[in-house]
Amino acid sequence: MFARVRPDTPTTLVQREGLNVTKDFEGLVAVVTGGASGIGAAIATRLRTGGARIAVFDVQPRGTNTHDLVISVNIADDDSVRAGIDRVAAEFGGIDIVVNNAGIGAIGTVETNSDDEWHRILDVNVIGTARVSRAALPHLRRSPVAAIVNVSSVAATAGITDRALYSASKGAISALTRAMAADHLHEGVRVNAVTPGTADTPWVQRLLSVASNPTSERSALEARQPHGRLVDPQEIADAVAYLASPASRSTTGVSLAIDGGMQELRVRPRG
């Protein structure tokens, strides 16, 4: 059991690779789903660096930081989710932040994805987000700085080939974020989302590894983002940290794009 600590001192700064990182999360407790790898691991690290105590939920929680509370949770199972949330609240004394990052990808069109695939992806990506939020809300309501951050995708709003099912799931997350923000505004719970572009993650690396020409495929992924590269997971983590932080206390119901301009810009190719 950890004693509950609230932030009651001026924020301090720590160094991260030459950058100053504000200790905005000192004394706060954050749950990060899918926090064992990729974007989720970057988010957990960023919040931890900012002073938060971290609970990582993952169906395969290998290689996580030994300072975190790591719990094997299947967000497709309500009992598993509730047990995980109850354990966090019992060990840390409460919950202030939930980052709904866990999700799975899908490739295909409406013709090629089966009903079973649709049920599986939506159960994890959409209903899983609802399950975790539902279980955490009684604890979040008791926090003076409660925040939920959902991880959507540029695929929610930009038409991308062979991503029909994945796009539908992330479009649902963006809509759910706005609805949740409205529902829980007067309870003091802020709800926002990030919408990353294509990021340099293990899932993308797996896609590249089976491509007929991985180098050419990576170049194509980089070129479709106006800034000409894949998004770094750390950039997504920094955006999540802002939305989760008391520094954004007047921000709710928004989706923050971290996509190198992919959604909004129409830039001439160089050369």
Q: Which of the residues are catalytic?
A: 166
Domain boundaries, the chain: 29-196+233-256, 200-230
Question: By percentage, how much of the chain surpasses pLDDT 70?
Answer: 84
Which range has the worst mean pLDDT, 33-47, 91-105, 203-217, 223-237? Answer: 203-217
Predicted confidence (pLDDT) at residue 19 exceeds the cutoff of 80 = no
Predicted confidence (pLDDT) at residue 259 exceeds the cutoff of 90 = no
Question: By percentage, how much of the chain surpasses pLDDT 90?
Answer: 66
Which pLDDT value is given to residue 90? Answer: 98
Which pLDDT value is given to residue 106? Answer: 92
Per-residue pLDDT tens over the stretch 62-114: 766 777 899 999 999 999 999 999 999 999 999 999 999 999 999 999 999 99
Which range has the worst mean pLDDT, 21-30, 128-137, 218-227? Answer: 218-227
Which pLDDT value is given to residue 40? Answer: 95
Cα distances (angstroms) measured from residue 30 to each of 18, 36, 88, 130: 25, 14, 9, 17
Q: What is the mean pLDDT of residues 10-20?
A: 51
Which range has the worst mean pLDDT, 70-79, 154-163, 203-212, 260-269? Answer: 203-212
Q: What is the mean pLDDT of residues 132-137?
A: 99
Domain range 29-196+233-256, CATH architecture: 3-Layer(aba) Sandwich (3.40)
What is the rounded average pLDDT for all residues in the chain?
88
